[in-house]
Copies of this chain bind each other. A is one copy, B any other.
Amino acid sequence: MAAKKPSTIDLAHFCPKYENAVQTLGKRWTPLIIRALLGGSRRFTEISDYIGAISDRLLSERLKELERAGVVEKRVFPETPVRIEYVLSAKGLELQGVVEAIQRWADRWAAAGEAAATPGRS
Of the four ranges (under 10, 10 to 19, 20 to 34, 35 or more), the interface on chain A belongs to: 35 or more
| Number of identical protomers | 2
Closest to A47 in B: B9
Whether the pair B45, A15 counts as a contact (CB closer than 8 A) is no
Which residues of chain A (1-40) have a CB below 8 Å from chain B?
1-2, 4-9, 11-22, 25-28, 31-32, 35-36, 39
Cβ-defined contact, A52 with B94, below 8 A: no
Q: How far is the CA of A104 from the CA of B98 in the complex (A)?
A: 9
Q: Mark A56-94, 1 if CB is under 8 A from B, else 0.
A: 100000000000111100000000000000000001001
Give the distance to chain B from A29, nearest Cβ to Cβ, in Å. 9
Q: A55-B2, A120-B15, A122-B15 are contacts. A9–B49 as well, Cβ < 8 Å?
A: yes
